[in-house]
Amino acid sequence: MTTEPRTVTFRDPGDLIAAVPAMVGFIPERSLVLLAFDASGTRIGVTMRHDLDLDSDGIATEAMEVMIAHLCEICLRDNTSGVIALVIDDRFDIDAPCWDHLFALIDSGLEDVGLYTGFVVADMALGEPWLTRWGAMGTHGDRGILDDPRSSAMAVAHAVTTGRVVLRSRREMVDSTARTTHCADPSCTYAVDSRTKAAAAGVDDSELLRRVLDAVLHGLDTHVDCVQLRVLEAAIRRPPVRDALLALAVSDVSDAAEAVWAELTRRLRGGGRACAATLLGHLHYVRGDGAMAGVALDCALDSDVGYSLAALLDRSLRAGLRPSTLEELLPTSYAAADRLGVIMPAPTERAAG
């Protein structure tokens, strides 16, 4: 789930369809995307994407029907005034009758709101034909040719606002968290062992928090030192330090914190990787980047299925809770830092959504 705070005006359905990759953060494939309008009916409040699970005839599987019902519940709970659906799938023709069945499921799940329009496109790429398969066609016709989603008005606004380009696929997001070598020491055989504990021996939580903040403010060297990594791992795994670090998600050093959390996610293993990935997922969740938050939280739970904060955030994301709900954690984070006697960067922006 992604919230979309940027303001871009769409001239026709083709503009709207081309904007979807910027809304979800990557170019979706074989996906169902729901665009839910807020109460005003003029702004897209929430964008939700899910893999399309279809049988050999293109009919939604039982699991897909359950997911559609869940997505529709989120729309209705958020007082949605209207919903547009987009199917991206190259397994069946864009005018195949199976899409009528899919859109009918969505329309039924949305109860009195109903599905306003359903579009189908085989691939999110320049020159691909799109088709209106359900509902209102408006004054722009029921079909057209797609512009390049990577240079759409929304993609440009996304890049200007966030400094990030639209990734080619979700796989690129997953690859961004892929494990790499632990450190610059060629003899290092990483393990969570006595060396990690020894690296932080005699260092209290206050000093550990300061060391993480120093890494955020000054960055991690490409050839990062093994001892430094072990200290940082010991730091983020201590709950009081981790809880204080959550506040960086809404500070003016959030980009720098993102870079450090991502680097630690790639370099650490086990519980350390789970903690770093959770910090990364929380930061993206607060920003309203549900796609990257989901990838990071999946990484955290793959590393430690019992990591409670990752599980809590993952459940919240899947339940469609807006990023603004995480603002409730911020006073707790600042209070944790206060108890450690460390001044954290002040919040400079509200959590998205």
Residues of the chain with pLDDT under 70: 1-11, 136-141, 151-168, 184, 186-187, 189-200, 349-353
Residue in this structure with the two tokens 């209106």, named with its chain if needed: 132
- Give 56: exposed, middle or buried? Use CB within 10 Å, 0-12, 13-18, 19+: exposed
Question: What pLDDT is recorded for position 351?
Answer: 43
Question: What pLDDT is recorded for position 168?
Answer: 60
Closest CA to 75 of 84, 62, 88: 84
Q: What is the DSSP string of 39-79?
A: TTSSSEEEEEEEE--B-TTSPBPHHHHHHHHHHHHHHHHTT
Rounded distance between C-alpha atoms, residue 274 and residue 265, angstroms: 7
Closest CA to 241 of 212, 269, 263: 212
Rounded distance between C-alpha atoms, residue 316 and residue 314, angstroms: 5
Rounded distance between C-alpha atoms, residue 249 and residue 323, angstroms: 11
SS3 content of the chain, % helix, strand, coil (to 5): 50, 15, 35
Q: What is the DSSP string of 220-250?
A: --TT--HHHHHHHHHHHTSHHHHHHHGGGGG
**Phi and psi dihedrals of 161, rounded to 5?**
-75, -40
Do the Cβ atoms of 165 and 193 come closer than 8 Å?
A: no
For the chain, how many helices (H) and strands (E)? 14, 7
| Long-range contacts at 44-47 (CB < 8 A, ≥ 24 apart) | 44/4, 45/3, 45/4, 45/78, 45/80, 46/1, 46/2, 46/3, 46/4, 46/74, 46/75, 46/78, 46/80, 46/320, 46/322, 46/353, 47/1, 47/2, 47/3, 47/4, 47/20, 47/23
Rounded distance between C-alpha atoms, residue 116 and residue 113, angstroms: 8
SS3 assignment, position 193: coil
Question: What pLDDT is recorded for position 141?
Answer: 59
Question: What pLDDT is recorded for position 161?
Answer: 46
Do the Cβ atoms of 95 and 119 come closer than 8 Å?
A: no
Rounded distance between C-alpha atoms, residue 203 and residue 234, angstroms: 10
Closest CA to 263 of 309, 308, 221: 221
Question: What pLDDT is recorded for position 280?
Answer: 97
Quote the DSSP letter at residue 27.
Answer: -
User: Residue 337's CB: how many other CB atoms inside 10 A?
Assistant: 22
Rounded distance between C-alpha atoms, residue 47 and residue 24, angstroms: 7
Question: What pLDDT is recorded for position 163?
Answer: 47
Strand (E) or helix (H) holding 33: strand 31-37
Question: What pLDDT is recorded for position 14?
Answer: 84
Question: What pLDDT is recorded for position 10?
Answer: 64
The pairing of beta strand 2-3 with beta strand 44-51: antiparallel
Question: What pLDDT is recorded for position 250?
Answer: 92
Could you tell me the pTM of the whole model? Answer: 0.75
Rounded distance between C-alpha atoms, residue 107 and residue 121, angstroms: 19
